[in-house]
Structure 1
Amino acid sequence: MNGKRDDNTSPIPRSQGAQDARDPRGVIVVGAGPTGLLLAGDLAAVGVPVTLVEKRQHRISNLSRAFVAHARTLEQLDARGIADALEAEGRPLDRIALFGRLSVRLDTLPSRFNHLLVIPQYEVEKVLERRAVEAGVRFRYETEVTAVEQGGSAGGAGDAGGVAVDVRTADGGTDRLTAAYVVGTDGHRSAVREAVGLPFPGKSVIRSVVLADVRLDEQPDEALTANAVGDAFAFIAPFGDGYHRVIGWHRGRDVPDSEPLDLDEVREITRLALGRDYGMRDARWMSRFHCDERQAPAYRVGRVFLAGDAAHVHTPAGGQGMNTGLQDAANLGWKLAAVLGGHADPALLDSYEAERHPVGRAVLRSSGGIVRLAMAKSPWALALRAALTTFVNHVPPARTRAIGQITGIGYRYPAPRGAHRLVGTRVPDVALSTGRLYESLRGGRFVLIGPRGADRPRALGTLGDRLAVATWTSDRRTTVLVRPDGYVAWAAEGADDAAVGEALAEWLGAAALGAAA
């Protein structure tokens, strides 16, 4: 093992007191992976009582399947002040090579993070856990969910609107935790999803995918490369610590996940797909797994929500798994905080599924498409792959769309009929009179951006903990209200104070209307 990365020390007790997890104003998050840690940290940072339940022991392993952070995820982490720390740990790559024909450049992305960052999931978890601890999240490790009950059946939930979660602890004891809302971020075998009766339709796409973290005697020509030849597919990416992640698959080797794996098998698949094995040696981790494509039909049942792998799973192609889950959390967290803080109608929570379910479906399609191209074998399928890669290489709109889907920056959320064309779009990290936009978003704030010279009421300062006010550094005349997750909530051309006040009242609560008067 690599000692530098094997950091299993715990900054928190294994389990905190059961009495801390009975708050009818709070949220129970189940699952301490990246999605759950980000969500719990977001809520606790704005004063929402949060209990994070995890059935595993507290241990951040240096072995993880996810290893890429894309531009949109880095933007979301920048809005929390933690992207730069991860950038210092990871390795930025500005180009992806696929199938020997397609070269995708990322350095033209309209983002401060115009690259992908190769960084293991455990490094992301360490930063997110530290943030959650500092924000006051209460952790319950070695605690397994056995039942979830809502409303009148919740018993100790306090009122008909509560949720009760029954759990079993490592010593065989039981407990009942209560809160206003529960979020299942507990992976593809989600106990929360099963407890609320949601199916997980889909299928296994490929079996017996092999994974190895190894040292290489020879460096590949491309920093990150993938190719498929005949029945074999392989992918190699550097960690930046002397090890490379190798993922491979061979059509003729369809065996159960439990089948032993040795490095010779990984070498053979890599040689078939990439022409050589680059002298791979010293594997610190090897694993065999299968890839499913599944999505829950709903992300919400009453006061229970799903996010991350509990809501959707797909192939690792494109490295979108962890990223999609983190963006789920960024979407849901500020909405729960607004409702629990009395600043928004509970109907706002319906927009989580409306916005994120289509994105999850699109990720299944895009990652599945990459895998199917990699699996191409017949002459017509290989010809189609060649035609598609040529098309993406040489047609800028197609290339922009493909990059936008993989990196996450190309998605926009549905807007109401008649809304300004910017509503629902992602806002890049534009320069403002007060500094960068994503610095202004920190603390879960909305940001109101208006034209230079606009005289906004000073009383808006009373909303300073939830609203930042800035002006464009350009001559732009559009007034824009940016949500805490970096998407446009409302926009107008030449808006007067009354229109601004109505928008603030809609998104920040009635008190905002008085401040804008």
Structure 2
Amino acid sequence: MNGTATHRTVIIVGSGPTGLLLAGDLATAGVPVTLLEKRSHDISNLSRAFGVHARTLEQLDARGLADQLLATGDTITGLRAFDRLTLDLTTLESRFPFMLITPQYEVERLLERRAREAGVDFAYESEVVGLRQDADGVELEVRGADGTVAVRRAAYVVGADGHHSAVRREIGLDFPGVSVIKSLFLADVRLAERPEDVLTVNGAGDCFAMIASFGDGWYRVMGWDRHHEVADDVPIDLDEVKDVARRALGSDYGMHDARWLSRFHSDERQAPRYRVGRVFLAGDAAHIHSPAGGQGMNTGLQDAANLSWKLAAAVQGWAPDGLLDTYETERHPVGKAVLRSSGGLVRLARAQSPALRAVRALVSAVGNTVGPARRKALGQISGIGYRYPALRGAHRLTGTRVPDVALAGGRLHEALRGGRFVLITPDPQAYEDPGTRKDRLTVECWASGRRTTVLVRPDGYVAWAADAPDATAIEEAVAAAVG
């Protein structure tokens, strides 16, 4: 641990997008972080995720990364489900009213660079084989590339190590759920004919296929054939991919030069808890679900954004009582909602019975014509519609996401880049920071004439709000949240 007291350190297991964002946030906040990864240092360009939704782009913008990521891909402004349901992303109340199509490895490259620049200690070829915890910290038994086992200790450990999480296994949590789709394939190919759209999706008969452009000449293809459900390890060739594409999309677009072909099955699973003592789960270690809606990587990144500032507060000694418990309280219901919505989309898309087809038609009609239903669907898929629980009697804004509002000194996302709380007031004299919170709080004024005072958490959600508070009320709210 380079001589650093272990009671101030965090170990993160897993260097996917979730682990990288979390590690970068903690290191930026001054917390010593070690990131353990079972693989060697080789960020694969053959990853499954390819869509970045509005809320994730907002979180990346609050870290100064969104514009760089936008340059790596293309955007789409609508999502189509089934035969008739179309969701118009341009109606999102966000600086990013679209979905970015870019491969996961582009996200990982940006997040890894940020984490390294912040001082994260990377340890590759390091496999967790044991875990013990006590009142003061956590000990991990870690097997290195040479087979020897060493013990690492930290104040807290986060398992962001995916579906087959060793951390989840070691803390004794089950991963209950079912397989939604028994056999899917993925392929990265080049095309002789360019599809008209950045994202091409359709289902016909017993087949489904999707083609997404990575913007660099490569395309991701995903699909399934209801009558050819086989084990993940059954060999696959390009002819099978082309056949399913022709039947589902009407063309295989001249697919050639596949650099990757793979089968997998899609599960719906969620850990019953996201915290056991000083150990936390995030991303695919906590929840997995169908690829419908492209919410997997996005949900994991939102887990990391929620947990990082809370862990930093705990390590640095200013966290209010119960703050770490709110990670599970806030994120477990979101994970459950994502499982429910993505699983519902898949089941309706694969509907065969007349009853389910009728339900699908009804869902499409309601989604296209009923405003509240359409907004709810857009909010869930994009991530901007989720809100966190608030205490009884709290202001109506408490727990809600704050858009990238204009401030007298710039934009909210810019103000959040320091990882601090942001107090937004209508009057610059409404609150005077005594100086003890300068590393944890930024005070800003509205650019508009808005009169509400809002305390925004580092992850962009409202911690407290009031319409006409006096100086004492503001001080009490800040003290309760920021210490």
TM-score between both structures, scaled by the size of structure 1: 0.91
Given candidates 158, 166, 178, the residue that maps to 1:183 is 158
Whole-Å Cα distance in 1 between the matches of residues 270 and 3 of structure 2? 33
Whole-Å Cα distance in 2 between the matches of residues 92 and 408 of structure 1? 17
Whole-Å Cα distance in 2 between the matches of residues 192 and 344 of structure 1? 24
Whole-Å Cα distance in 2 between the matches of residues 256 and 463 of structure 1? 56
Q: Give the 3 Å change call, closer, same or farther, for CA 206–459 of structure 1 in structure 2.
A: closer
Residue 488 of structure 1: aligned partner = 462
Matched, 1:497 2:471: yes
Given candidates 273, 289, 297, the residue that maps to 2:248 is 273
Residue 48 of structure 1: aligned partner = 31
| 1:436-447 equivalent positions in 2, closer than 5 A | 436-447=411-422
Whole-Å Cα distance in 2 between the matches of residues 102 and 461 of structure 1? 53
- Read off the aligned partner of 1:504 and give its amino acid letter: V
- Read off the aligned partner of 1:241 and give its amino acid letter: D
| 1:202-281 equivalent positions in 2, closer than 5 A | 202-281=177-256
Given candidates 235, 238, 263, the residue that maps to 1:288 is 263
How much has 1:89 moved relative to structure 2?
1.0
SS of equivalent to 2:67: helix
Residue 130 of structure 1: aligned partner = 113
Q: Is the 8 A contact 2:431 2:474 kept in 1?
A: no
SS of equivalent to 2:418: coil
SS of equivalent to 1:387: helix
Given candidates 476, 480, 483, the residue that maps to 1:506 is 480
How much has 1:220 moved relative to structure 2?
3.1
Kindly report structure 1 stretches of 4+ aligned residues shifted beyond 4 Å.
18-22
Residue 80 of structure 2: aligned partner = 97
- Cα displacement string for residues 349-406 of structure 1 (whole angstroms, at most 9, x for unaligned residues): 0000000000000000111111112211223322322221122112221111111111
Residue 79 of structure 1: aligned partner = 62
Q: Give the 3 Å change call, closer, same or farther, for CA 99–442 of structure 1 in structure 2.
A: same
Q: Give the 3 Å change call, closer, same or farther, for CA 458–499 of structure 1 in structure 2.
A: closer
| 1:268-347 equivalent positions in 2, closer than 5 A | 268-347=243-322
- Read off the aligned partner of 1:498 and give its amino acid letter: T
Whole-Å Cα distance in 2 between the matches of residues 454 and 421 of structure 1? 23
| 1:454-473 equivalent positions in 2, closer than 5 A | 454-460=428-434, 463-473=437-447
Residue 515 of structure 1: aligned partner = none
Q: Give the 3 Å change call, closer, same or farther, for CA 198–21 of structure 1 in structure 2.
A: farther
Residue 514 of structure 1: aligned partner = none
Whole-Å Cα distance in 2 between the matches of residues 486 and 357 of structure 1? 18
How much has 1:22 moved relative to structure 2?
6.6
Percentage of matched positions with identical amino acids: 65
- Cα displacement string for residues 282-325 of structure 1 (whole angstroms, at most 9, x for unaligned residues): 22211111001000000000000000000000111111110000
How much has 1:454 moved relative to structure 2?
4.6
Whole-Å Cα distance in 2 between the matches of residues 126 and 21 of structure 1? 27
Q: Is the 8 A contact 1:97 1:225 kept in 2?
A: no
How much has 1:19 moved relative to structure 2?
5.2
- Cα displacement string for residues 476-499 of structure 1 (whole angstroms, at most 9, x for unaligned residues): 111100000000000011011100
SS of equivalent to 1:442: helix
Residue 369 of structure 1: aligned partner = 344
Whole-Å Cα distance in 1 between the matches of residues 232 and 73 of structure 2? 30
How much has 1:234 moved relative to structure 2?
1.2
Aligned pair count reads 483
- Cα displacement string for residues 97-118 of structure 1 (whole angstroms, at most 9, x for unaligned residues): 3333222211121111111101
Whole-Å Cα distance in 1 between the matches of residues 428 and 93 of structure 2? 27
Q: Is the 8 A contact 2:75 2:198 kept in 1?
A: no
- Read off the aligned partner of 1:248 and give its amino acid letter: G
Residue 150 of structure 1: aligned partner = 133
- Read off the aligned partner of 2:63 and give its amino acid letter: R
Q: Is the 8 A contact 1:20 1:138 kept in 2?
A: no
- Cα displacement string for residues 54-101 of structure 1 (whole angstroms, at most 9, x for unaligned residues): 111010111110111100001011111111110111211112233332
Residue 5 of structure 1: aligned partner = none
Residue 104 of structure 2: aligned partner = 121
Whole-Å Cα distance in 2 between the matches of residues 402 and 424 of structure 1? 19
Q: Give the 3 Å change call, closer, same or farther, for CA 258–438 of structure 1 in structure 2.
A: same
Residue 136 of structure 2: aligned partner = 161
Whole-Å Cα distance in 2 between the matches of residues 126 and 20 of structure 1? 29
Q: Is the 8 A contact 1:66 1:321 kept in 2?
A: yes
Q: Give the 3 Å change call, closer, same or farther, for CA 457–19 of structure 1 in structure 2.
A: closer
| 1:445-456 equivalent positions in 2, closer than 5 A | 445-451=420-426, 453-456=427-430
Whole-Å Cα distance in 2 between the matches of residues 249 and 377 of structure 1? 15
SS of equivalent to 2:417: coil
Q: Is the 8 A contact 1:224 1:237 kept in 2?
A: yes
Q: Is the 8 A contact 1:21 1:179 kept in 2?
A: no
- Read off the aligned partner of 1:464 and give its amino acid letter: K
Matched, 1:37 2:12: no
- Read off the aligned partner of 1:80 and give its amino acid letter: R
Q: RMSD in angstroms over aligned alpha carbons?
A: 1.4
Q: Is the 8 A contact 1:95 1:224 kept in 2?
A: no
- Read off the aligned partner of 1:336 and give its amino acid letter: L
Q: Is the 8 A contact 2:310 2:323 kept in 1?
A: yes
Whole-Å Cα distance in 2 between the matches of residues 385 and 186 of structure 1? 35
Matched, 1:70 2:53: yes
- Cα displacement string for residues 423-456 of structure 1 (whole angstroms, at most 9, x for unaligned residues): 00000000011110010001211100111x3513
Unaligned runs of 5+ in 2: none
Q: Is the 8 A contact 1:183 1:304 kept in 2?
A: yes
SS of equivalent to 1:252: coil
The answer to which of 175-184 and 269-278 deviates more is 269-278
- Read off the aligned partner of 2:236 and give its amino acid letter: L
Q: Is the 8 A contact 2:74 2:198 kept in 1?
A: no
Residue 27 of structure 1: aligned partner = 10
Matched, 1:61 2:44: yes
- Read off the aligned partner of 2:354 and give its amino acid letter: P
Q: Is the 8 A contact 1:27 1:179 kept in 2?
A: yes
- Cα displacement string for residues 153-209 of structure 1 (whole angstroms, at most 9, x for unaligned residues): xxxxxxx32111111111011111001100000001000000000000001111120
Whole-Å Cα distance in 1 between the matches of residues 380 and 436 of structure 2? 39
